[in-house]
């Protein structure tokens, strides 16, 4: 275990201690103890910055299940360090915010911080693991922790609904991802991601390439809320706001982005990867931004906005993967601009979305509502929150001089370059990228305007609020202020990140796009001259403002009034159908009638046995070695068969008992004919006792004495029983044939020759029972003893109080 491993495990260890802090140090808010850890971790990860910016990587290995190739490998390169810094940095800010957001008197803080630390550790594990199985384990832990956090207020129905939905969707994706990982292992023989990247060619040429890629992408898309799996994210907004800010904007939803970026060197450069990522990304971008406009709740707007921005990043990663198609050279450098935009926007989105969630939480906390139809005029009452929101929404809308403007320009550049691509059939359909991006940006601008102006401007109406509205306490404001400042800093000085974070991350995503000694040159600046991108931005601002100003004209339309995503209906329908469908199947199958279960088993037996006999052509009747039949045996057999066939038609119970006895005695007679004296003796005795038992048991039941059977001939039952009879006969005949033809002697010669010499007895059957195979006899005696005890217990024991069943 190195320091790096301890860093990943430390949140889990602290989570174990949290309940003790909560229990024994009630005067201090538990969050203060938690705050130390992410801060320390952030500083710890900063020490890796010099290493990764020089293009080096760190790999530390600890064996976990070495026999299966599972090692707890911690791997730090530009990409994982970027995520680790996001997780620990925003983690620290969120913990600080939550200290002021959650009251120590009314909330179960121990649960909250245990779940949050579990999530943080799991997330660090996801981004720092090099082993796919370890990554999967941490991946599922994030799903679990996320569901626990969404249902933090578990007495609310909506919280549990949201938690269940996110759990079902993300675990579904996670499970398919595990399938994809297993296929990668089958292809390459290693679980190590770096090892797989080295064998990327083998993966590309494998026949399993497409299913592997689809399964892995299913995991990434469900986690990162891509269309149409985005539906869990808006419902996850029932979580406390610090959770929404941390999990559902900055970290967990980017786990899918991370996975896609991490595996781009494996799958990238192929048309399938390019189209799936950029296609689903651009659709998610459109759908998310349009849906966000319809929302009336601040957090729902932000949730759909997150969906749409994640789609944007995913689309850029897809477009950037085209660089791998070309290999090292100028073209790769050109198309890698999209990847640069993706990484840059990833950082930007974490900063401004985190601060926006926190301000939405402040508004909710201080006014008691998040409904934009009730809010308004908070500008003068909450000046600091107002300022942070202004910065955040402006960055999200893509206005200069904030960082969102830069990433939006770079996004437009990326899509315009994609339009120029002449590979992957782009020359025909490439136009959709800039057009869709432009339309989505208009809607993005529109919901930013709604979010901002509906909350802070307009008339303040005190009757809309339950509380006395005032500015939030300073402690709650620190985190959004820090994030807001970062928005401005990254906006004004974008190149501070370029050499330290973005370039190493790009090398991790596109290693093959560089020739030896070459490096990505990242130079982000505001003014590019009068190019297409700037006119697109002007168009976005113009159209967005036009739509917002004329909102009265369209805000009564069905589009605006319907809030819920139409996909929720199909999800709920699917779930309901699954339940009712399985209930229907169970109702049909499980009738509760013994007869039906017998019938299932018997029909299955008939089909299986007859099929395998047909399959192996096992029908054989061998007459060569058959014993001749004496005349009296014919008579006896006919009587026996006739008596047996009579049984079902006997009406009276006692008569049936006697008929059963007759069959038993006839069987004893058969034993006599077939030279089995001991069997005949036993059969006679047993049959006598059985008949007496039957008579005793049923004759002495007074209330049933007069009853008679009502045998009803049932055709289905007859078919089944005839089938069994025929099957048994056929098997008996073909086994006879086998016995004559298999060429093996019976072992009985040994018993015949040795029973007197070795055991000193002349009755061979008895010698076998008590000498050669006496163990059978001991256990058979035991069976009788148990049966006898059971009978005694059933007759003697009376259970009290109506429980006698």
Partner 1 sequence: MEILMSVTVGVLFMVGVYMILTKSILRVVMGLMLMSHGAHLLLLVMSGLKEGGPPLLGEDLTYYSDPLPQALILTAIVISFGVTSFILVLAYRTYKVHKTDDLDKLRGTADE
User: Quick one: CA dihedral 663, 668, 669, 675, positive or negative?
Assistant: positive
Please select the residue that binds partner 1; options are 674, 699, 705, 741, rule is CB under 8 A.
Answer: 674
Measured between alpha carbons, how far apart are the two ends of the chain, in Å?
A: 60
Candidate ranges 86-94, 143-151, 309-317, 644-652; the one touching partner 1 (CB under 8 A): 644-652
580 binds partner 1 (CB under 8 A): no
Candidate ranges 179-187, 338-346, 393-401, 596-604; the one touching partner 1 (CB under 8 A): 596-604
Query: If you search the block for the tokens 């790769």, which residue do you land on?
Result: 332
Q: Which residues contact 331 (CB under 8 A, 6 or more apart)?
A: 323
Please select the residue that binds partner 1; options are 61, 199, 644, 688, rule is CB under 8 A.
Answer: 644
Please select the residue that binds partner 1; options are 594, 616, 632, 706, rule is CB under 8 A.
Answer: 594
608 binds partner 1 (CB under 8 A): no
User: Distances in Å between the alpha carbon of 743 and those of 559, 737, 739, 746?
Assistant: 83, 11, 8, 10
User: For residue 744, what is the DSSP state?
Assistant: P
Residues 287-308, buried b or exposed e (16+ Cβ, 10 A)? bbbbbbbbbbbbbbbbbbbbbb
**Residue 662 to residue 669: CA distance in whole angstroms:** 11
623 binds partner 1 (CB under 8 A): yes
Cβ proximity to partner 1: between 3 and 718 the closer is 718
Residues 441, 541 contacting (CB under 8 angstroms): no
- Within 10 Å of residue 529's Cβ, how many Cβ atoms? 6
Cβ proximity to partner 1: between 46 and 731 the closer is 731
Candidate ranges 8-16, 67-75, 406-414, 791-799; the one touching partner 1 (CB under 8 A): 791-799
Residues 671, 679 contacting (CB under 8 angstroms): yes
790 binds partner 1 (CB under 8 A): yes
Binding track, positions 753-772, relative to partner 1; x by CB under 8 A: --xx-----xxxx--xx---
Please select the residue that binds partner 1; options are 610, 620, 658, 690, rule is CB under 8 A.
Answer: 690
Cβ proximity to partner 1: between 617 and 804 the closer is 804
Number of residues counted as binding partner 1 (CB under 8 A) = 95
729 binds partner 1 (CB under 8 A): yes
User: For residue 630, what is the DSSP state?
Assistant: P
Q: 154 phi and psi, to 5 degrees?
A: -75, -10
CB 157 to partner 1: min, Å: 25
Phi-psi category of residue 196: left, alpha or beta, with phi > 0 → left and psi -120 to 50 → alpha: alpha
Burial class (CB in 10 A: 0-12, 13-18, 19+), 357: buried
665 binds partner 1 (CB under 8 A): no
| 692-711 residues near partner 1, rule: CB under 8 A | 693-694, 697-698, 701, 703-704, 709, 711
776 binds partner 1 (CB under 8 A): yes
**Residue 660 to residue 648: CA distance in whole angstroms:** 11
- Within 10 Å of residue 772's Cβ, how many Cβ atoms? 16
Please select the residue that binds partner 1; options are 371, 518, 563, 678, rule is CB under 8 A.
Answer: 678
626 binds partner 1 (CB under 8 A): yes
CB 294 to partner 1: min, Å: 43
Please select the residue that binds partner 1; options are 525, 629, 632, 706, rule is CB under 8 A.
Answer: 629
733 binds partner 1 (CB under 8 A): yes
Alpha helices in 321-329 (DSSP H): 322-326
Tokens of 636: 């006896």
Cβ proximity to partner 1: between 503 and 687 the closer is 687
**Residue 297 to residue 318: CA distance in whole angstroms:** 32
521 binds partner 1 (CB under 8 A): no
Phi-psi category of residue 644: left, alpha or beta, with phi > 0 → left and psi -120 to 50 → alpha: alpha
Please select the residue that binds partner 1; options are 677, 699, 705, 741, rule is CB under 8 A.
Answer: 677
| Angle, vertex CA 618, rays to CA 614 and CA 621, nearest 5 | 125
Binding track, positions 219-258, relative to partner 1; x by CB under 8 A: ----------------------------------------
Element housing 58 (H / E): strand 58-65
CB 634 to partner 1: min, Å: 8
CB 800 to partner 1: min, Å: 14
639 binds partner 1 (CB under 8 A): no
Q: 465 phi and psi, to 5 degrees?
A: -115, 145
Please select the residue that binds partner 1; options are 538, 619, 714, 741, rule is CB under 8 A.
Answer: 714
796 binds partner 1 (CB under 8 A): no
Cβ proximity to partner 1: between 190 and 644 the closer is 644
Q: Which residues contact 672 (CB under 8 A, 6 or more apart)?
A: 680
652 binds partner 1 (CB under 8 A): no
Cβ proximity to partner 1: between 160 and 644 the closer is 644
775 binds partner 1 (CB under 8 A): no
CB 160 to partner 1: min, Å: 24
Q: How far is CA 337 from the centre of its chain?
A: 34
């Amino acid at each position: 275990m190195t320091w790096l491993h301890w860093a990943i495990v430390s949140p889990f260890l602290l989570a174990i201690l949290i309940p003790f802090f909560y229990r024994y140090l009630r005067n201090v808010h538990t969050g203060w103890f938690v705050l130390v850890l992410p801060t320390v971790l952030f500083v710890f990860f900063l020490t890796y910055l010099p290493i990764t910016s020089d293009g080096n990587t760190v790999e530390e290995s600890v064996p976990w299940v070495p026999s299966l190739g599972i090692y707890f490998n911690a791997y730090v390169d530009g990409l994982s360090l970027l995520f680790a810094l996001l997780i620990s940095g925003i983690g620290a800010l969120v913990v600080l915010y939550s200290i002021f957001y959650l009251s120590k008197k009314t909330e179960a803080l121990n649960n909250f911080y245990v779940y949050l630390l579990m999530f943080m550790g799991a997330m660090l594990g996801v981004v720092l693991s090099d082993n796919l199985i370890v990554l999967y384990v941490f991946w599922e832990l994030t799903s679990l922790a996320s569901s626990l956090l969404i249902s933090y207020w578990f007495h609310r129905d909506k919280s549990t609904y949201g938690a269940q939905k996110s759990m079902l969707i993300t675990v579904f994706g996670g499970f398919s991802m595990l399938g994809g990982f297993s296929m990668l292992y089958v292809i390459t023989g290693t679980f190590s991601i770096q090892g797989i990247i080295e064998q990327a060619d083998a993966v590309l040429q494998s026949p399993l390439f497409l299913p592997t890629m689809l399964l892995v992408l299913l995991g990434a898309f469900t986690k990162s809320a891509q269309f149409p799996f985005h539906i869990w994210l808006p419902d996850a907004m029932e979580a406390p706001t610090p959770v929404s800010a941390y999990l559902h904007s900055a970290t967990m939803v980017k786990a899918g982005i991370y996975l896609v970026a991490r595996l781009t060197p494996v799958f990238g450069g192929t048309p399938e990867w390019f189209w799936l990522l950029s296609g689903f990304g651009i659709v998610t971008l459109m759908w998310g931004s349009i849906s966000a406009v319809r929302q009336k709740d601040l957090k729902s707007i932000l949730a759909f906005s997150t969906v749409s921005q994640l789609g944007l990043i995913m689309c850029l990663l897809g477009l950037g993967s085209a660089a791998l198609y070309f290999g090292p050279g100028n073209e790769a450098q050109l198309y890698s601009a999209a990847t640069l935009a993706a990484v840059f926007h990833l950082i930007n989105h974490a900063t401004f979305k985190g601060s926006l969630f926190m301000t939405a939480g402040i508004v909710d906390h201080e006014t008691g509502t998040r409904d934009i139809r009730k809010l308004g005029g908070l500008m003068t009452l909450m000046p600091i929150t107002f300022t942070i929101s202004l910065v955040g929404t402006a960055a999200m809308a893509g206005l200069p001089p904030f960082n969102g403007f830069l990433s939006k320009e770079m996004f437009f550049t990326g899509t315009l370059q994609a339009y120029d691509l002449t590979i992957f059939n782009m020359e025909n359909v490439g136009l959709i990228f800039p057009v869709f991006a432009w339309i989505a940006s208009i809607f993005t601008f529109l919901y930013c305007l709604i979010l901002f102006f509906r909350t802070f401007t307009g008339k303040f109406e005190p009757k809309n609020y339950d509380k006395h509205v005032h500015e939030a306490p300073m402690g709650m404001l620190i985190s959004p202020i820090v994030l807001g400042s970062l928005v401005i800093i990254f906006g004004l000085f974008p190149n501070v990140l370029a050499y330290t974070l973005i370039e190493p991350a790009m090398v991790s995503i596109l290693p093959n796009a560089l020739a030896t000694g070459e490096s990505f040159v990242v130079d982000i600046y505001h003014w590019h001259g009068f190019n297409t991108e700037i006119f697109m931005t002007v168009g976005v601002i113009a159209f967005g403002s036009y739509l917002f100003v004329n909102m009265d004209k369209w805000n009564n339309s069905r589009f605006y009034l319907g809030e819920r995503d139409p996909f929720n209906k199909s999800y709920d329908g699917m779930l309901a159908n699954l339940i009712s469908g399985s209930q229907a199947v169970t109702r049909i199958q499980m009738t509760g009638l013994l007869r039906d279960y017998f019938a299932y088993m018997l029909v299955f037996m008939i089909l299986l046995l007859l099929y395998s006999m047909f399959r192996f052509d096992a029908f054989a009747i061998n007459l060569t070695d058959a014993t001749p039949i004496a005349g009296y045996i014919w008579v006896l057999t006919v009587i026996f068969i006739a008596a047996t066939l009579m049984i079902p038609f006997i009406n009276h119970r006692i008569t049936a008992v006697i008929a059963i006895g007759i069959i038993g005695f006839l069987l004893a007679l058969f034993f006599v004919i077939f030279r089995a004296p001991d069997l005949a003796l036993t059969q006679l005795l047993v049959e006598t006792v059985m008949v007496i038992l039957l008579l005793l048991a049923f004759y002495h039941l007074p209330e049933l004495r007069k009853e008679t059977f009502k045998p009803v001939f049932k055709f289905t039952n007859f078919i089944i029983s005839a089938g069994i009879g025929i099957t048994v006969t056929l098997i008996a005949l073909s086994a006879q044939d086998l016995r004559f033809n298999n060429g093996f002697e019976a072992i009985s010669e040994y018993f015949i020759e040795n029973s007197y010499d070795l055991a000193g007895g002349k009755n061979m059957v008895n010698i076998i029972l008590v000498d050669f195979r006496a163990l059978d006899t001991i256990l058979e005696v035991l069976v009788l003893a148990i049966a006898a005890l059971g009978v005694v217990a059933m007759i003697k024991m009376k259970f009290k109080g109506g429980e006698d069943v």
